[in-house]
Amino acid sequence: MSEKEQPRIVIIGGGTGLSVLLRGLKKYPVDITAIVTVADDGGSSGRLREDLDIPAPGDVRNVLAALSDVEPLVEEMFQHRFTNSKDLDGHSLGNLILAAMTSITGNFTYAIQEMSKVLNVRGKVLPATSHSVILNAVMEDGTVVVGESNIPEAGKKIKKVFLTPEDSEPLPETIHAIEQADLIVMGPGSLYTSILPNLVVPEIKEAVREAKAKKVYVCNIMTQAGETSDYTASDHVKALYEHVEKPFIDTIIVNKTNIPANIQQRYDEEKAKPVVFDINRLERMDLDVIAGDIIKLDQGVIRHNTLEVAKILYSIID
């Protein structure tokens, strides 16, 4: 099947969840465009963003690595994080390369394109916006928390998130990809700090709302302290609807497998619990609910099973 004939899938998100999903999806004959948040302000990304006034490269780096088709050692080098160094401690090589390429070209998007060639990336990787932005959260008590890394630490219920500058613009290619997509996928990933930072970019929000593609949300398996404590699956969807200002999701993918008791105990320390999949309420929201065995244990950490989720997504467009 030629690339022009392949179904076009747009994946919107960030963090580990997006990278995990893409590793499975790239094995299928699909044309992938990943739209990635650049609002991270912690760790290596935050330091580079503050020092060089560039969009945060960390989530983009992870997605490039996930979609790459290179020798494992090359990917490992790209993802390598320095330790025991006064100046480089905490920085990953991939972040430094993206920062260097941005400095050379003066264009963060061009830096991503060039790295995509070097890493033989399967698909397109586009930042949600091509300039530095700050994620802010309005809490239920009216206080405003500034900075992506500070939001989960506030210990308060989130009402909404927004970017500054509020009129941040996406790339024309991003809007075109959304308009031409056969399937648009949100998640998995941190609801307020990985997925919604993309959807609150005004033109992206409008494009997703009006797109003709079928829209799918891959629901998180566990709640996240400081973001989605006690959230059910329908609460996740409700938050998405409130930010996009319209019901827009057709299908939700949820996990139907019980979490082993010993793994739940580990997550108790993080104040995280399995998301309650309130299927009756989801169906009342006119959602097509797909419940599958979609979890995988990775060294005691619960991840989405990338192959199972990718298989479900491909079956939706097929």
Higher pLDDT, 74 or 244: 244
| The predicted structure's pLDDT at residue 261 | 86
Mean per-residue pLDDT of the chain: 93
Residue whose pair of structure tokens reads 């629901």 in the numeric block: 219
Higher per-residue confidence, 90 vs 78: 78
**Over 70: is that where the pLDDT of 3 sits?**
no
User: Quick one: how many helices (H) and strands (E) in the chain?
Assistant: 13, 12
CATH number for the domain including 272? 3.40.50.10680
Rounded CA separation 81/141 (Å): 38
Q: Which residue has the tokens 């479900």?
A: 312
- pLDDT band at 1, cuts 50/70/90? very low
Residues 244 and 307 in one domain: yes
Max distance between CA atoms of the chain, in angstroms, equals 55
Do 107 and 16 share a domain, yes or no? no
Task: Judge if 27 and 80 occupy the same domain.
Answer: no
Q: How confident is the model at residue 299 (pLDDT cuts 50, 70, 90)?
A: confident
Both tokens of 51, joined, read 């020092």
Is residue 117 a contact partner of residue 70, using CB atoms and an 8 Å limit?
Answer: no
User: What is d(CA 235, CA 127) in angstroms, rounded to the nearest whole number?
Assistant: 27
Averaged pLDDT, 29-44: 92
pLDDT (tens digit per residue) in 150-199: 999 998 999 999 999 998 999 999 999 999 999 999 989 999 999 999 99
Identity (one letter) of the amino acid at 29? P
248, 103: one domain: no
Q: Which of 171-175, 229-233, 270-274, 305-309 has the lowest mean pLDDT?
A: 270-274
Regarding whether 94 and 63 lie in a shared domain, the answer is yes
The answer to whether residue 263 scores a pLDDT higher than 80 is: yes
Residues 247 and 309 in one domain: yes
Q: What is the pLDDT of residues 221-243, one digit of tens each?
A: 999 999 999 999 999 999 999 99
Give the pair of three-digit tokens for residue 228: 């989605």
pLDDT at position 298 is: 80
**Mean pLDDT: which of 43-47, 120-124, 300-304 is highest?**
120-124
- Report the residue count for the chain: 318
My answer on whether 274 and 308 are in the same domain is yes
- Residue 4: pLDDT band (50, 70, 90) is low
Q: Is 58 helix (H, G, I), strand (E, B) or coil?
A: helix
Closest CA to 32 of 146, 177, 168: 177
- Tell me the C-alpha to C-alpha distance, in Å, between residue 188 and each of 13, 56, 184, 212, 309: 7, 20, 13, 22, 10
Q: Same domain, yes or no, for 182 and 59?
A: no
Residues 185 and 288 grouped into a single domain: yes
Structure tokens at 36: 């990635």
Q: Are residues 198 and 63 in the same domain?
A: no
Token reading at 272: 């995280």
Note whether residue 143 is domain-resident: no
- Give the pLDDT confidence of 238-258 residue by residue, as tens digits: 999 999 999 999 999 999 998
Q: What pLDDT score does 241 carry?
A: 98
Total domains in the fold of the chain: 2
Instruction: Report the side by side order of strands in the sheet with 8-13.
Output: 124-127, 31-36, 8-13, 183-186, 214-218, 251-255, 288-292
Cα(75)–Cα(94) distance, integer angstroms: 9
Between residues 182 and 89, the one the model is more confident about? 182
Q: Does residue 274 carry a pLDDT above 50?
A: yes
pLDDT higher than 50, residue 2 = no
Residues 221 and 210 in one domain: yes
Residues 6+ apart with CB under 8 A from 48: 54, 56, 57, 91, 95, 96, 99
Assess whether 61 and 178 both reside in one domain. Answer: no
pLDDT of 16 higher than 70: yes
Evaluate whether residue 145 is within a structural domain.
no
Query: Domain residues for 98?
Result: 42-122
The half-sphere exposure of 28 on its side-chain side, counting CA atoms within 13 A, is 25
